[in-house]
């Protein structure tokens, strides 16, 4: 019996603890992933963040919107422990990777909302489930490219937020070299390009646009609705969209892209009816 050739998918995603899981799961479903770190990060304002972290009594809780936010808190603590008072507060995270990182690096700090998958859904979740006092602000470590989606949702519902910009996102200076190598080595077998973040979309689009390489040579996959909107804003034709940033959701849409497209049509129709 002849085995089917693997279908190659380039994944624009930074290396993390989940990379090996992604590779194993995709291989098991006959996909060959090539991971290309799209972004680079630099921490900033950690002294300011450290001062805020020493005063949990001044906050209602903390919100982590990415693994980088958790890493910034860990860096700001400089190997000291997170004050125990934070464990008594209302703490939230977007996605399982961010939730698990907070557990493993911040003295088992438990966060709610890991199933939400994006800032819009997390905002809805906080508004619907928060049962504490809104007199104190939520601490929000964030990056320089953070959108107003979450802030606006919370402000509209009576929350105050202390946003602290703690890291800066830039295009990976090696992106061009890594992409060129991947395109040469696997040019005939690449079927999908999968994008994990709006900022990553901008970096990759710039690479292809500068070199006048048409992106319609491949099937473009968005991980999450905000990434899809960023791709569409660039004029990129999205083939399918994973609902959440997990390998299970990615495999699901790669195996059944039609379901993803039908879901988007239903969602758009429901939004139009609501308006």
Are 134 and 221 in the same domain? no
Last-in-domain residue among 170, 192, 224? 170
The answer to the question of residue 266 being in a domain is: yes
Are 165 and 258 in the same domain? no
Please tell me the pTM assigned to this model.
0.71
Are 95 and 160 in the same domain? yes
pLDDT of 270 > 60? The answer is: no
For 114, other C-beta atoms within 10 Å of its C-beta total 21
For 61, other C-beta atoms within 10 Å of its C-beta total 21
The answer to the question of residue 1 being in a domain is: no
Read off the pLDDT of residues 33-56 as tens digits, 9 standing for 90 and up.
999 999 998 999 999 999 999 999
Quick one: pLDDT band at residue 146, thresholds 50, 70, 90? confident
Quick one: pLDDT band at residue 145, thresholds 50, 70, 90? confident
Residue 149 maps to which CATH number? Answer: 3.40.50.10090
Number of domains comprising the chain? 2
Cα→Cα distances 175→129, 188, 192, Å: 41, 20, 17
Which residues span the domain enclosing 231?
7-38+174-274
CA atoms of 168 and 172, how far apart (whole Å): 12
Point out the least confidently predicted range of 7-16, 137-146, 208-217.
7-16
Read off the pLDDT of residues 227-253 as tens digits, 9 standing for 90 and up.
999 999 999 999 999 988 888 999 999
């Amino acid at each position: 019996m002849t085995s089917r050739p693997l279908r190659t998918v380039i994944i624009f995603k930074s290396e993390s603890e989940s990379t090996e899981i992604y590779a194993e799961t995709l291989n098991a479903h006959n996909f060959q992933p090539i991971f290309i770190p799209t972004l680079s990060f630099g921490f900033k304002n950690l002294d300011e963040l450290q001062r805020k972290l020493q005063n949990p009594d001044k906050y209602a809780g903390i919100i982590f919107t990415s693994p980088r936010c958790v890493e910034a808190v860990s860096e700001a603590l400089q190997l000291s422990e997170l004050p125990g008072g934070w464990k008594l507060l209302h703490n939230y995270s977007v996605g399982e990777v961010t939730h698990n990182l907070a557990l493993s690096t911040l003295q088992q700090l438990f966060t709610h909302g890991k199933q939400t998958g994006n800032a819009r859904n997390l905002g809805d979740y906080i508004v619907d489930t928060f049962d504490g006092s809104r007199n104190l602000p939520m601490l929000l470590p964030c990056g320089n490219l953070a959108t107003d989606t979450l802030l606006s949702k919370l402000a509209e519902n009576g929350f105050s937020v202390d946003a602290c910009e703690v890291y800066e996102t830039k295009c990976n200076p090696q992106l061009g070299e890594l992409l060129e190598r991947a395109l040469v080595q696997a040019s005939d077998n690449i079927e999908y390009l999968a994008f994990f973040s709006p900022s990553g979309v901008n970096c990759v689009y710039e690479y292809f646009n500068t070199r006048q390489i048409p992106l319609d040579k491949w099937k473009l996959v968005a991980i999450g609705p905000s990434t899809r909107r960023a791709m569409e804003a660039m004029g990129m034709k999205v083939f399918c969209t994973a609902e959440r940033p997990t390998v299970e959701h990615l495999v699901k849409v790669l195996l059944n892209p039609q379901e993803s497209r039908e879901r988007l049509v239903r969602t758009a129709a429901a939004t139009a009816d609501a308006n």
